[in-house]
Amino acid sequence: MAHGAPWTLCAMPQRSCLTPLGEVTVSEEDGAIVALDWGRGRDQDRTPLLEEAVRQLQDYFDGQRRSFDLPLAPHGTPFQRRVWAALQAIPLGETRSYGDLARLLGSAARAIGQANGSNPIPILIPCHRVLASGGALGGYSGGEGPVTKRWLLDHERRLCAKMPSTSAQAELPLGPDGAGLPGTMSR
């Protein structure tokens, strides 16, 4: 008796959406996003999580979203997951070098690059925000390669100019009594 490959027996729900970079497909497993692939997926499911992921991606590409609020569960080694967590800490509109991340994580830049290139959830885990030494663009394994990376970085710079961060308001000094600005706190 012939058996199918394991992934054909239990297909993950997936949903595609059109972006300025072409179609992308998000995949869900156990209530979390586990992949974002370039191109149209074979299956098209409408789970609440996939619909929310598509909505957030469309908002991002429409210039209405600065960050994503989705449960992510990328499959990878513990080291890869540490690298991917560090990628998520890079603010929109900013970049880091492979060397910066290597110093942060106590690793080699080459290992960071390999983990970055293995990121199964690009855009949502922003591997495009990592540059080579000296600010060179470096490689990118998604979409049309470096052209896609440059487009994403330019898009985020435009987004930052259009939608200034609201985090500056949270960093306002509270003053000597810690009460905040007048009228913002009752005693």
What is the pLDDT at residue 120?
97
Tell me, what's the pLDDT at 173? 35
What pLDDT score does 180 carry? 31
**Residue 38: how many CB atoms within 10 A of its CB?**
17
Q: Which long-range contacts (CB under 8 A, 24 or more apart) does 25-31 make?
A: 26/50, 26/53, 26/54, 26/57, 26/124, 28/53, 29/73, 30/73, 31/71
Q: Which of 69-78, 79-88, 107-116, 156-165 has the lowest mean pLDDT?
A: 156-165
Q: Taking 80 as the threshold, does the pLDDT of residue 30 lie above it?
A: yes
* CB neighbours of residue 115 within 10 Å: 24
Which of the residues 10, 17, 127, 160 is marked catalytic? 127
CATH second-level architecture of 78-162? Orthogonal Bundle (1.10)
Ranges of H-type helices in the chain: 6-9, 48-61, 78-88, 98-105, 109-117, 146-162, 167-170
Residue extents of the structural domains in the chain? 12-61, 78-162
The pLDDT confidence band at residue 9, using thresholds 50, 70 and 90, is very low
The radius of gyration of the chain's CA atoms, rounded to the nearest angstrom, is: 19
Higher pLDDT, 38 or 170: 38
| Contacts with 52 (C-beta within 8 Å, 6 or more apart), sequence order | 70
- 160 catalytic? Reply is no
Reported confidence tier of residue 147, pLDDT bands at 50, 70, 90 = very high
What pLDDT score does 4 carry?
Answer: 37
Please give the pLDDT value at position 32. 97
Q: What is the token pair recorded at 35?
A: 């992949």
Measured CA to CA, the distance from residue 83 to residue 42 in angstroms comes to 30
Q: What is the DSSP letter of 127?
A: G
pLDDT of amino acid 104: 96
The pLDDT value recorded for residue 170 is: 35
- Look at 42 and 187; give whichever has higher pLDDT: 42
